[in-house]
């Protein structure tokens, strides 16, 4: 039967099987993607039975949905922390805040924050039916915020085609610092200390501000 738990009282003595499954699935889906992560591997990592996945989540896709939901939620929570912070600051300062807050999360290798971006990378390479939903709820808000900042910097309407191009230029630079084996091989000394990362954030801001100012003056 279906028979879901009526009250989600997660206050069990030890972590409930459902929670352990969710945690293990988060790690393995982020590492290998939806298809390549097997339910048996997930169950073993969670010290649970395979059937528990179907019992608690209605199958592999249901488990994935739960992971993705949590990912988007964590993403928006992280954004709100520094996006809504200084709405009265200058757009230059807003851009600096954005990059300084975003880049460390992108470049992080700490599993507690990095898994979201690994999940996204797999969705880009081999999309699941959830891809459009993730893009709309996890990414679009950030793009729209950035568009507003850039439009003020360019002193034009957000619909101006230059806005989208500049937003992409900024976003692309940040995203590129997500570590992977390709970058490690193509760019030697890829490992970043905290100081390096701050320098990179500085670079992206200066580089982008110069580019934007240039395009603002033309036309």
Partner DNA sequence: GACCGTTTAATACAATTGTTTGAATTCACG
Partner DNA sequence: CGTGAATTCAAACAATTGTATTAAACGGTC
Q: Pattern 183-202, binding to a second copy, x per CB under 8 A?
A: -xxxx-----------xx--
Q: Which of residues 57-116 bind a second copy (CB under 8 A)?
A: none
Cβ atoms < 10 Å from Cβ of 150: 27
Q: Which is nearer to DNA, 19 or 92 (CB)?
A: 19
Partner from a second copy, DNA, none contacting 10, C-beta within 5 to 8 A by type: none
208 burial via Cβ count (<10 Å: 0-12, 13-18, 19+): buried
Partner from DNA, a second copy, none contacting 61, C-beta within 5 to 8 A by type: DNA
Determine the angle formed by the axes of helices 50-57 and 60-83, rounding to 10 degrees: 60
Give min distance, CB of 126 to a second copy, in A.
6
Give the DSSP letter of residue 126: S
Q: Which is nearer to DNA, 1 or 195 (CB)?
A: 1
C-beta of residue 34 within 8 angstroms of C-beta of residue 67:
no
Q: Tell whether residue 184 is a contact of DNA (CB under 7 A).
A: no
Q: Which is nearer to DNA, 40 or 203 (CB)?
A: 40
Partner from a second copy, DNA, none contacting 93, C-beta within 5 to 8 A by type: none
Alpha-carbon distance of 100 to 158, in angstroms, equals: 23
Q: Which of residues 46-85 bind DNA (CB under 7 A)?
A: 48-56, 59-61
Partner from a second copy, DNA, none contacting 51, C-beta within 5 to 8 A by type: DNA
* Candidate residues 75, 134, 150, 154; the one interacting with a second copy per rule CB under 8 A: 134
DSSP result, 2-64: ----SS-----SS--HHHHHHHHHHHHHHHHHHHHS-HHHHHHHTT--HHHHHHHHSSHHHHH
């Amino acid at each position: 039967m279906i028979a879901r738990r009526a009250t989600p009282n997660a206050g069990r003595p030890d972590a409930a099987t459902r929670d352990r499954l969710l945690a293990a699935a988060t790690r393995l889906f982020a590492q290998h993607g939806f298809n390549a992560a097997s339910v048996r591997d997930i169950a073993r990592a969670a010290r649970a039975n395979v059937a528990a996945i179907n019992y608690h989540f209605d199958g592999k896709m249901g488990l994935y949905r739960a992971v993705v939901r949590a990912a988007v939620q964590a993403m928006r929570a992280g954004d709100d922390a520094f996006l809504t912070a200084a709405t009265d600051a200058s757009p230059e300062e807003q851009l600096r805040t954005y990059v300084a807050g975003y880049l460390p999360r992108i470049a992080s290798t700490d599993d507690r924050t990095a898994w979201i971006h690994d999940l996204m990378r797999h969705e880009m390479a081999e999309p699941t039916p959830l891809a459009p939903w993730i893009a709309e709820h996890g990414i679009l808000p950030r793009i729209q915020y950035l568009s507003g900042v850039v439009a003020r910097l360019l002193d034009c309407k957000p619909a101006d085609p230059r806005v989208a191009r500049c937003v992409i230029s900024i976003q692309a630079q940040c995203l590129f610092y997500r570590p992977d084996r390709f970058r490690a091989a193509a760019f030697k000394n890829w490992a970043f200390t905290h100081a390096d990362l701050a320098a990179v954030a500085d670079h992206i801001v200066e580089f982008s501000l110069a580019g934007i100012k240039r395009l603002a003056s033309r036309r």
